[in-house]
Amino acid sequence: MQIKRNLFLMCLTLLLAASVSAQTFKYIGADKCKMCHNKPATGDQYGKWLKDPHAQSMKTLSSQAALDYAKKNGIADASKDAKCLKCHSTFDKAEASLRGGITQAEGVSCESCHGPGSAYKSPVFMKNKEQAMKNGLILPDKNTCIACHNKENPFYKEFNFETYSKKIAHPNPAAKK
């Protein structure tokens, strides 16, 4: 009886813990990832991202092409319009309040692809893929990309997962695969 009861309580606690954390994952911003992911020996993901177009995607919304498109389509300011921000920034429509420490200026940031990092950023979880994923980490695949790389984009170019992935790759040379 006692064992059953303890088991029940344990399950309940686990369930509660899981549902609480699922609701509280917050976006923390690329600076927080930077402190651990800027080492050349493990792939300098932060440095690679800074040079990749995703880190520049908010600047693009102020480019001449964006200004022209906005003017033609009655958009007052592309860099402030949800129609453009939804793909050019780490934009969370449903839960604006869960953004935490991330700014729109970061553009398409780590967490656009890897999920909000408030929980998985902990070193205990980071070293264990399964634990990290339980705490919100996404290891992105094609579907992650086509959430933005699709024809809703007024400047759509055909998306090829293999070639596009190579352009933004930031592997960890020290990781055991």
Q: Interface residues with ligand HEC (CB under 6 A)?
A: 28, 30, 32-33, 35-37, 42-43, 45-46, 49, 53-54, 56-57, 60-61, 63, 65-66, 69-70, 75, 78, 83-84, 86-88, 108, 110-114, 117, 121, 123, 126-127, 129, 132, 137, 139-140, 144-145, 147-150, 152-155, 157, 164-165, 167-168, 170-172, 175
| Main-chain phi, psi angles of 111, to 5 degrees | -75, -15
Q: How far is the CB of 170 from ligand HEC (least distance, A)?
A: 5
CA neighbor of 85 nearest in space, from 58, 62, 113: 58
Give every CB contact of residue 125 below 8 A, 6+ residues apart in sequence.
Answer: 119, 131, 132, 134, 135, 137
Q: How far is the CB of 117 from ligand HEC (least distance, A)?
A: 3
Q: Which two tokens stand for residue 53?
A: 């177009």
Q: How far is the CB of 16 from ligand HEC (least distance, A)?
A: 24
Q: How far is the CB of 153 from ligand HEC (least distance, A)?
A: 3
Task: Report the length, in residues, of the chain.
Answer: 177
Q: Which of residues 7 and 65 has its CB atom nearest to ligand HEC in the complex? A: 65
The neighbour count for residue 145, using CB atoms within 10 Å, is 16
